[in-house]
Chains A and B, each alone.
Chain A
Amino acid sequence: MKRSLIDILDLSVAELDELIATACDIIENPAKYAHVCAGKKLATLFFEPSTRTRLSFEAAMYELGGNVLGFAGAQSSSAAKGESVADTAKTVSCYADIIAMRHPKEGAALVAANNASIPVINAGDGGHCHPTQTLADLLTIYREKGGFHHLTIGLCGDLKFGRTVHSLIGAMSRYTGIRFVLISPSELRIPDYVKEDVLDKKGIPYEEVTDLEAAIPELDILYMTRVQRERFFNEEDYLRLKDSYILDLKKLTNAKNDLCVMHPLPRVNEISVAVDNDPRACYFKQVLNGKYMRMALILKLLKEAGTI
């Protein structure tokens, strides 16, 4: 049966475990998976710019032995002529076996999924959801920490518009012993609905702070985010807030030795380049883990659709 992935919470904890197990098996035995998608096509429909996510999906499909078609900007698609997302999804369903779609508008992936006859993976719909980034984050946490329980997770930067942060909170709040430290300027605090609907409802402890340096010593994971220009209507607000939190080696002095520093990338300047060589820097491992999880996800959805 055709199934899509719009929100990370579309996947049960058991399904996440299954995806992580598949990804780990892919890492151990890449040859076993090198031809499983032979003759199958992934359509990458990217209505807004992306380096990592699009290339990650493409690399994932190639490493599964499949092929890729698509576009990398609304201007190079029929969207420039005014074609609806629904029509694009119906059309692409005639050419490909699975779709990965990024669109600047929130909910666009759901519209595509409701109209496509093939599985749709949400590769980011505006500030709403970005489930495959969360899959990359989860595999990174799993590989670095050995599991998902009893962790203090610091989320830093743009917690208001940061879709990866909202998805990660949703996913991690399903495990026991999780505590969040939400580090942001007051203008970019986590939205009330995330606090009320997820954290408060599940009784998950959290605190909202503004001082990154003071919060670091207690953290097992520090998830940094970029203050994104494209999420602001007002350029002045962006310029005022973009440098709010910058992680450097000095701030890491009091951090735990096994702290895991994560970032969905791209970074601008919120993590000093000097941190890259610190063993606690895990953000490029996240990129690689993202490809493995996308491979596992493509496999799962194509299997469920009966395509492979």
Chain B
Amino acid sequence: MNIDSTVRTGIVIDHITAGRAMLLYELLGLENEQGAVAIIKNVQSRKMGKKDIIKVDTERKLNLDIIGYVDPGATVNVIRDGKLIEKKSISMPETLTDVIFCKNPRCITSVEQELSHVFRLTDKQNKVYRCLYCETQAKQ
């Protein structure tokens, strides 16, 4: 993938709310990606006004729950040999495990290191996730 080229075989995360691409990049662990990764910010969009796009030049597994948590309106396109072969639907996950971490110093997860950090969707309308253990609200 060059600076101005399209992905030949890989993944395009499109329709990301403008400004959210870096958070997705971090949570998806794309900094560890060996292939080319492009983050395109503030692209003009007819539907959204502005949007972000992430292009990954390798066909890799993505944790769709992370995308659903950060930006359920995003779309994930799988590209192979220059052709769109799959459009993955994104929805807000009911639970998130070890994606985000509870920052409440009074939470049991702050002292018991082996515990998974689990967050539950408690209010879909307002996108509220709470720690399973202490019910502290996750902040994006």
Same complex: yes
Q: Is the interface of A mostly helix, strand, loop or mixed?
A: mixed
Residues of B within 8 A of A226 (CB): none
Total number of A residues with any Cβ neighbor in B under 8 Å: 17
Q: Which of A85, A86, A103, A106 has the most CB of B within 10 A?
A: A106
Q: B132 near A110 (CB under 8 angstroms)? A: yes
State the Cβ distance, B1 to closest chain A Cβ, in Å: 44
Residues of B within 8 A of A65 (CB): none
Please provide the chain B residues from 102 to 126 with a CB less than 8 Å away from any CB of chain A in the complex.
104, 106-112, 114-115, 122-123
Task: Compute how far the CA of A292 lies from the CA of B111 in the bound complex, rounded to whole angstroms.
Answer: 34
Q: A106 near B123 (CB under 8 angstroms)? A: no
Q: B122 near A105 (CB under 8 angstroms)? A: no
Known contacts A84-B114, A127-B106, A107 near B123 by CB under 8 Å: no
Residues of A within 8 A of B133 (CB): 106-108, 110-111
Beta-carbon nearest neighbor of B102 in chain A: A107
Q: B39 at the A/B interface (Cβ < 8 Å)? A: no
Task: Compute how far the CA of A108 lies from the CA of B107 in the bound complex, rounded to whole angstroms.
Answer: 8
Residues of A within 8 A of B107 (CB): 105-107
Task: Compute how far the CA of A111 lies from the CA of B132 in the bound complex, rounded to whole angstroms.
Answer: 10
Q: B86 at the A/B interface (Cβ < 8 Å)? A: no
Beta-carbon nearest neighbor of B131 in chain A: A107
State the Cβ distance, A74 to closest chain B Cβ, in Å: 11
Known contacts A84-B114, A107-B131, A111-B115, A197 near B108 by CB under 8 Å: no
Task: Compute how far the CA of A254 lies from the CA of B104 in the bound complex, rounded to whole angstroms.
Answer: 42
Beta-carbon nearest neighbor of B115 in chain A: A111
Known contacts A85-B108, A197-B122, A106 near B134 by CB under 8 Å: yes
Q: B137 at the A/B interface (Cβ < 8 Å)? A: yes
Task: Compute how far the CA of A104 lies from the CA of B132 in the bound complex, rounded to whole angstroms.
Answer: 17
Beta-carbon nearest neighbor of B135 in chain A: A128
Beta-carbon nearest neighbor of A110 in chain B: B133
Interface readout for A91-114 with B: 1 if CB under 8 Å, 0 if not? 000000000000111111011000
Q: Is the interface of B mostly helix, strand, loop or mixed?
A: loop
Known contacts A111-B133, A128-B135, A197-B123, A106 near B104 by CB under 8 Å: yes
Total number of B residues with any Cβ neighbor in A under 8 Å: 18
Number of contacts between A and B (CB, 8 Å)? Answer: 48
Task: Compute how far the CA of A103 lies from the CA of B122 in the bound complex, rounded to whole angstroms.
Answer: 25
Task: Compute how far the CA of A197 lies from the CA of B110 in the bound complex, rounded to whole angstroms.
Answer: 25
Task: Compute how far the CA of A85 lies from the CA of B122 in the bound complex, rounded to whole angstroms.
Answer: 26
Q: B111 near A105 (CB under 8 angstroms)? A: yes
Task: Compute how far the CA of A119 lies from the CA of B20 in the bound complex, rounded to whole angstroms.
Answer: 44
Q: A106 near B122 (CB under 8 angstroms)? A: no
State the Cβ distance, B118 to closest chain A Cβ, in Å: 10
Q: A108 near B122 (CB under 8 angstroms)? A: no
Task: Compute how far the CA of A86 lies from the CA of B122 in the bound complex, rounded to whole angstroms.
Answer: 25
State the Cβ distance, A203 to closest chain B Cβ, in Å: 16
Residues of A within 8 A of B106 (CB): 104-106, 126-128
Q: Which of B109, B131, B134 has the most CB of A within 10 A?
A: B134
State the Cβ distance, B106 to closest chain A Cβ, in Å: 5
Beta-carbon nearest neighbor of A7 in chain B: B135
Residues of B within 8 A of A126 (CB): 106, 134
Task: Compute how far the CA of A110 lies from the CA of B134 in the bound complex, rounded to whole angstroms.
Answer: 9
Residues of B within 8 A of A86 (CB): 112, 114-115
State the Cβ distance, B71 to closest chain A Cβ, in Å: 23
Partner of A103, one of B108, B109, B123, B137: B108
Residues of A within 8 A of B110 (CB): 105
Task: Compute how far the CA of A53 lies from the CA of B92 in the bound complex, rounded to whole angstroms.
Answer: 40
Known contacts A105-B107, A106-B106, A111 near B112 by CB under 8 Å: yes
Q: A105 near B123 (CB under 8 angstroms)? A: no
Residues of A within 8 A of B108 (CB): 85, 103, 105-108, 110-111, 125
- Given A86-B115, A108-B108, A126-B106, 17 more contacts at CB 8 Å? A85-B112, A86-B114, A105-B107, A105-B111, A106-B106, A106-B134, A107-B131, A107-B132, A110-B108, A110-B132, A111-B112, A111-B115, A128-B134, A128-B135, A193-B135, A193-B137, A197-B123
**6 A–B contacts from the bound complex (CB under 8 Å):** A103-B108, A105-B108, A106-B104, A106-B135, A127-B106, A197-B123
